Structure 1
Amino acid sequence: MERRHDIDALRALAFALVILYHVAMYYVAGWDWHLKSPHAAGWLPAPMRALNLWRMDLVFLISGMALALLWRGGSRWALLRQRSWRLLLPLAFGMVVVVPYQPYAQGVANGLVAPGFGDFLLRYYTGGPWPAGAFDGAHVGVTWNHLWYLPYLWLYTALWVLALPLLESAAGRRLRAAFTGLRGARLLLPVLPLMTYSLLLWPQFPPTHDLVGDGWLHAVYGTLFLYGWWIGLDAGLWAELRRWRGRAAGLALLLLVLYLPLRAAAPVDGIARLGLRLLADLYLWSAILAILGWAHHALNRPWRWLRWANESVYPWYVLHQTLIIAAAVWLAPLALGPVLEPAALLLATVGGCWALTALIRRSDRLRPLFGLKPRAPLPRPSPALPAAPAARNA
């Protein structure tokens, strides 16, 4: 099968954007996060909102594409076992080892957790209890924080495995063919289920990332995961996405220019808020169409950095938010100001991810804890052949 370099590159760039977004969350004015800088930036909410409306939606759609690339028509249960190992083991390890510093730093900053990381861990590993609002997830006792993506992805993969006979049935194949046969403006039709979820689920199920009570996000992310699986490597649809990339980008930009000022002026509740949500859905899908089309146009080539990025993206994802928070705590007393501090925070996060991932990639014990496959064994040297006897003189 031909290697699709654009999908590999898009996956790496999407997760890089997640890391950059989380660095910016420390500075965006008016938005809650685990820690907040005193150098809040009033100009950040608009670009952050422009990204936030599609960044994780794109990640789940790419995850569906990745499943389509992995699926070879073999045992779906074997594939589920493989994906469970690569998703749930890093989740468990991350929750035990990588994440705990985040609630500790947040609890100390909130004045509801006493300084002393060792004492915090003893209490954390036994489930608390914690004062209300000590950190995100304190009511449960522990948290997975940014690793919420892993159980969600595992859930959608498991549902895909259960639904595969239906998806591969005659009716399922017709539905997939209808999706991949969309052309021109009909490429916008897949937004209709997303709008339906906004009408029926969004008001009752605000995002929680707790897996259990996230009805609206499950509907959206699960549908985009399915869209990604349907898109897969369908040559006709990818050619149409590439052809339509300019119009999709123009539409997304127009919708964003309408959405941002309307959201700033609209009342918090009421029909106007619901209308804005529907406008956001149309912007979300137009942006994804544009991103897929431009990625196929510009990124489908064997970039030199791509092999490294493909193996590094998972450890970077697991590590990055803890490194951001640790670096923020370390930099805060230095009072570097609103320019040097963000630059130093980004540099510390990238440098920490780079250095730790270099160690992880070389360790056979650490690799599975960060979702990496075992290293390919080095080729064994061929045994030396005996020298040929010298030819006799005639």
Structure 2
Amino acid sequence: MLPTSRRYDIDWIRVIAIGLLLIYHIAIAFQSWGIMLSFITAPTPWPALWLPMGMLNIWRIPLLFFVSGMGVYFALQNRTAGQLLWERARRILVPFLVGVVLIVPAHIYLWQHYNGFKESYAPNPGHLWFLGNIFVYIVVLLPVVYYLQRHEAGRVAGAIRKLFSTPPGLLVMAGAFILEAWLTDAHPYELYALTWHGFFLGMLAFFFGFCFILSGEPFWKMLLRWRWMFLALAVTLFVVRLVKYNMMAPAYLLVPESHGWILSVFAFGYKYLNQPGNRLRYLSEAAYPVYVLHMVFLSLGSLLIFRLEVPAPVQFVLLVLFTVAGCFAFYEGVVRRINVVRVLFGLKRK
């Protein structure tokens, strides 16, 4: 097995990706269409938020799938396939199921109550859909990634490393994503939740994330060397999408823009974030429990803050503070300290 040290930048990027999802959901509460997604929406929308939301929309979820595939590579360094499956079931499947039957119904109940709909118990994946996807990817792709991990000096792994050692190799990956969008008729491209497009896009990102780590140091040095090119590509294509296509560009432009943002994040993270620390250790453990919980506290905060007669930007800031503080208070006071609850949220027993 080729030596690979722990990558703290990947841990940081996972925490950042979860944080972006949380902030994005708070922003949905200020869009009039949020009610269709079971969000309590502000009486006075804030349409200007859609610009940064639209920029994030095409890469925030794929980024998380890439990171999940990377995590599987590191996990397989000291686990068998069976141990990995059991560990991911505990960390991902259990909180997913707990969320489906307890957390999602709670925030939907609050949404029903706020809007005067008939209250009911409505278990469903909700905002946790991608956790279910990730567990399926692990089950489906485990034979492939386990083989590659155990034969890193083999011909197939060597071909993958050679492919991703230069920027042109990334065109193969982009082609796979464009083909996926065409085959699944991905309109809109940003609709990932509970769609075949989201499922297969996530599987591709998961697999290529694994391949990025498998490719080793040459890939990451290539990213570092070309990081400004990836960022310039992403910014340029975003401006084209905004000016020429009114944010509705075709997939053959959305895919390279998405990859430009994602590769930039990995490159700059590799350069600046590969450092351990107590803050990272705490946030890495807290990230998934906080995300599982956040829609309940977002809904509770919306019930209170949307009654205040203050401008929408002030409501947004207050809602961010309420949601983040509520999630971390519950995590710190309940989830982190009670063994039974720790297990339900995917944490190890103390």
Say whether the fold is shared (TM-score over 0.5): yes
Equivalent residues in 2 for 1:257-276, closer than 5 Å: 257-264=239-246, 276=250
The residue identity in structure 2 corresponding to 1:247 is: M
Q: Specify the alignment match of 2:128 in structure 1.
A: 147
Q: Distance in 2 between matches of 1:204 and 1:250?
A: 26
8 Å CA contact retained: 2:343, 2:349? yes
Q: Distance in 2 between matches of 1:371 and 1:229?
A: 22
The alpha-carbon distance between structure 1 residues 287 and 193, as it changes in their structure 2 partners (threshold 3 A), is same
Residue 242 (1) aligns with residue 245 (2): no
Q: Distance in 2 between matches of 1:220 and 1:263?
A: 22
Q: Specify the alignment match of 2:326 in structure 1.
A: 352
Residue 3 (1) aligns with residue 21 (2): no
Q: In structure 1, which of residues 374, 377, 380 is the aligned counterpart of residue 349 of structure 2?
A: 374
8 Å CA contact retained: 1:87, 1:371? yes
Q: Distance in 2 between matches of 1:93 and 1:184?
A: 42
Q: Specify the alignment match of 1:281 in structure 2.
A: 255
Residue 95 (1) aligns with residue 79 (2): no
RMSD of Structure 2 on Structure 1 (CA): 2.3
Q: In structure 2, which of residues 172, 179, 183 is the aligned counterpart of residue 196 of structure 1?
A: 179
Q: Distance in 2 between matches of 1:355 and 1:190?
A: 41
8 Å CA contact retained: 2:290, 2:327? yes
Q: In structure 2, which of residues 74, 77, 81 is the aligned counterpart of residue 72 of structure 1?
A: 77
Q: Specify the alignment match of 1:364 in structure 2.
A: 339
Q: What stretches of structure 1 move > 6 A for 4+ residues in a row?
A: none
Q: Specify the alignment match of 1:16 in structure 2.
A: 19
CA apart distance, 1:201 = 1.2
Q: Specify the alignment match of 2:304 in structure 1.
A: 330
The residue identity in structure 2 corresponding to 1:51 is: L
The alpha-carbon distance between structure 1 residues 54 and 88, as it changes in their structure 2 partners (threshold 3 A), is same
Aligned residues: 339
The residue identity in structure 2 corresponding to 1:223 is: L
Q: Specify the alignment match of 1:129 in structure 2.
A: none
Structure of higher RCO (CA pairs closer than 8 Å, 6+ residues apart): 2
Q: Specify the alignment match of 1:54 in structure 2.
A: 59
8 Å CA contact retained: 1:245, 1:293? yes
The alpha-carbon distance between structure 1 residues 103 and 81, as it changes in their structure 2 partners (threshold 3 A), is same
The residue identity in structure 2 corresponding to 1:258 is: V
Residue 312 (1) aligns with residue 295 (2): no
Q: Distance in 2 between matches of 1:100 and 1:25?
A: 19
Could you give the per-residue CA deviations for residues 105-136 of structure 1, whole angstroms, max 9, x where no partner exists? 2223443315xxxxx4xxx2xxxxxxxxxxxx
Q: Distance in 1 between matches of 2:250 and 2:126?
A: 28
8 Å CA contact retained: 2:294, 2:327? yes
The residue identity in structure 2 corresponding to 1:370 is: F
CA apart distance, 1:340 = 2.3
SS in structure 1 at match of 2:37: coil
- Which consecutive unaligned segments of at least 5 residues does structure 2 have? none
The residue identity in structure 1 corresponding to 2:26 is: V
8 Å CA contact retained: 1:314, 1:372? no
The residue identity in structure 2 corresponding to 1:38 is: P
The alpha-carbon distance between structure 1 residues 303 and 28, as it changes in their structure 2 partners (threshold 3 A), is farther
Could you give the per-residue CA deviations for residues 276-327 of structure 1, whole angstroms, max 9, x where no partner exists? 2221111011111111101111111224411111111111111111211111
Q: In structure 2, which of residues 38, 44, 52 is the aligned counterpart of residue 39 of structure 1?
A: 44
Residue 252 (1) aligns with residue 226 (2): no
SS in structure 1 at match of 2:48: coil
- Asked which structure has the greater CA Rg, the reply is 1
The residue identity in structure 2 corresponding to 1:374 is: R
- Which consecutive unaligned segments of at least 5 residues does structure 1 have? 115-119, 125-140, 266-272, 376-394
8 Å CA contact retained: 1:11, 1:62? yes
Q: Distance in 2 between matches of 1:104 and 1:84?
A: 28
CA apart distance, 1:38 = 1.5
The alpha-carbon distance between structure 1 residues 177 and 73, as it changes in their structure 2 partners (threshold 3 A), is farther
Q: Bigger CA drift: 220-229 or 354-363?
A: 354-363
Q: Larger helix proportion, structure 1 or 2?
A: 2
Q: Bigger CA drift: 53-62 or 279-288?
A: 279-288
The residue identity in structure 2 corresponding to 1:341 is: Q
The alpha-carbon distance between structure 1 residues 205 and 284, as it changes in their structure 2 partners (threshold 3 A), is closer
